[in-house]
Structure 1
Amino acid sequence: MFDVMRDAGFEQGLGMCDSTARTMGIAKLTPVHLDTAAQITKGAWHRDSILTMLSFVDGRSENGGESIARAHMIMGGLEVPELQVNMDVEEYRGPGPREGTSRYQIRRFRVDYMWTVPDDAGGMRTIVGELDGEEKYAKGMTTVNKERRRDALLEASGVRVVHFSHADGCEGSGLSMVHRLYQAGVRMVDANERERRARMLGGQ
């Protein structure tokens, strides 16, 4: 992974290394993984930058597009999201067997990106990011309507859902996506961390 990230750079290398981690059954590289990499790469060119890049590898990413979009989130200064999280929400299914009762069904949805952030009342709220691939729309209105129903159920449970296209998330620097997520409430890391990322992730 070290050589891949060094040769490809963070934006493209993250997807390759995510895929390798997924194949190996690794969600995230642990401090032990990174310490081992540090020991065997002493004296390597841009070693500290590459190790910083590797710290963001996540095998839960399902495809290269999701990885590139996440690289843009990280380089754009957003907090790092959790990936491919299962969320359970209640769906109303009609009146219950007794008067005044209702029937609900638990629906489970898996989301691409998830952040938990403080709300104005002192609690926590959830923001979900969804990368929309072009193939989804090619499947027609049935898929789109299912997505709308899914979004409505998530939002009824208090989740904010933000969709962005492949162009917004993966092309250029992803600033449109970063801005939309920030406007939705995803937090930026502090100035020191933004400076560190700019120096380490772009310093090849």
Structure 2
Amino acid sequence: MSRRHPQWVYAGLSAAAAMNLEYSWSLLRDESIYVASSPENQSHRRSQTVPIFVASEENCVVRYLLGESMVAVRTTTPARTLVDCALRYPFRLVLGMFDSAFRMKLTDADSVVDECDRIRADCGSVFRLLRYTDARSENGGESLCRATLIDAGFAVPELQREFVDPENSWNVRRVDFVWHTADGRTIVLEYDGMRKYVDPVMTKRRDIQQVVSAEKSRDDMLLRAGVSAVVHATYDDVVTHGSLWSKLIRAGVPRTDAIPFYELK
């Protein structure tokens, strides 16, 4: 599309895809192409394109090596891209975009707020995302899991905490999510994508039994290091909600009274 229309500036989800931001596969059901536009410029209107009105002419260029040639894709700025996606899609599906953009240092909170000042829209959903954005999130699956926890009213966990085996100081394990309760307990949640069990790169060519055995050994080490409970969640647990909630409630993960007022339904 950029080769055919080099003057187009992609926006919204199209820009997020060009920047390789993390987001849920469910958003790919939207097959529209989002292009930055202004009321005066409607030259790119096609049945497949959706205009996003952008007053500023500031944009970025993402370059791809396609075969032996370089392709330049013009997009809205990372900050404007995050704002447009936050205004269009639910919190839990966009948190990964914010986490990954901040992790890759494509933008920062001040730039996002500046974009909010430039548009005439209620940016409450953007500010909610900024409140919970954490560059330590390692992938979109972890971001989706954390956003689901937040929407469900669970306390915001600590990310990427390391634990040292008291029997072997060289044995250090980093976990995805940690909660510390008022009564002194420590609860760990590990997000385990299905690739962990079937992808040869992640399994290191071990069979499922060996992977599960290694997981149990890891859990035993965490318990020795003072963890009170270790909860495992898969992608299916996250998207079906109920299974994950019951696991966390049984483990005693603290709750809050958070109400996602700005959540899009």
Q: Report the TM-score, using the length of structure 2 for normalisation.
A: 0.60
Task: Tell me which residue corresponds to 1:189.
Answer: 256
SS in 1 for 2:153: coil
Task: Tell me which residue corresponds to 1:168.
Answer: 237
Shift of 1:106: 4.2
Task: Tell me which residue corresponds to 2:92.
Answer: 11
Shift of 1:37: 3.9
Q: Which has the higher contact order (CA 8 A, sep 6+)?
A: 1
Shift of 1:25: 8.3
Map 1:2-81 onto structure 2 (within 5 A): 2-24=83-105, 33=109, 37-42=112-117, 44-81=120-157
Out of 100, 112, 118, the residue aligned to residue 182 of structure 2 is 118
Shift of 1:144: 1.9
Q: For 1:139-169, what per-residue CA distance to the aligned partner results, in whole angstroms no more than 9, with x for missing partners? A: 3232221111110111133311001121002
In structure 2, how many angstroms separate the alpha carbons of the residues matched to 1:118 and 1:106? 30
In structure 2, how many angstroms separate the alpha carbons of the residues matched to 1:126 and 1:65? 23
SS in 1 for 2:90: helix
- Amino acid in the other structure paired with 1:89: D
Identity %: 34
Root-mean-square deviation over aligned CA pairs:
2.2
Task: Tell me which residue corresponds to 1:134.
Answer: 194
CA contact (8 A) 2:91 2:264 kept: no
Q: Looking at CA atoms only, which structure, 1 or 2, has the larger radius of gyration?
A: 2
Structure 2: gaps (5+ residues): 1-81
- Amino acid in the other structure paired with 2:192: D
In structure 2, how many angstroms separate the alpha carbons of the residues matched to 1:162 and 1:4? 31
Aligned length: 174
CA 1:144–1:115 in structure 2 vs 1: closer, same or farther (change >3 Å)? same
Structure 1: gaps (5+ residues): 92-103
In structure 2, how many angstroms separate the alpha carbons of the residues matched to 1:105 and 1:18? 31
SS in 2 for 1:55: helix
CA contact (8 A) 1:18 1:59 kept: yes
Shift of 1:112: 0.8
CA 1:132–1:71 in structure 2 vs 1: closer, same or farther (change >3 Å)? same
Shift of 1:203: 4.1
- Amino acid in the other structure paired with 1:151: D
In structure 1, how many angstroms separate the alpha carbons of the residues matched to 2:106 and 2:83? 18
SS in 1 for 2:89: helix
SS in 2 for 1:83: strand
CA 1:40–1:63 in structure 2 vs 1: closer, same or farther (change >3 Å)? closer
In structure 2, how many angstroms separate the alpha carbons of the residues matched to 1:61 and 1:83? 7
- Amino acid in the other structure paired with 1:178: W
Task: Tell me which residue corresponds to 2:171.
Answer: 107
In structure 2, how many angstroms separate the alpha carbons of the residues matched to 1:25 and 1:106? 35
- Amino acid in the other structure paired with 1:163: H
Task: Tell me which residue corresponds to 2:244.
Answer: 177
SS in 2 for 1:41: helix
In structure 2, how many angstroms separate the alpha carbons of the residues matched to 1:144 and 1:54? 36
CA contact (8 A) 2:166 2:224 kept: no
CA 1:88–1:25 in structure 2 vs 1: closer, same or farther (change >3 Å)? farther
CA contact (8 A) 2:162 2:173 kept: yes
SS in 1 for 2:216: helix
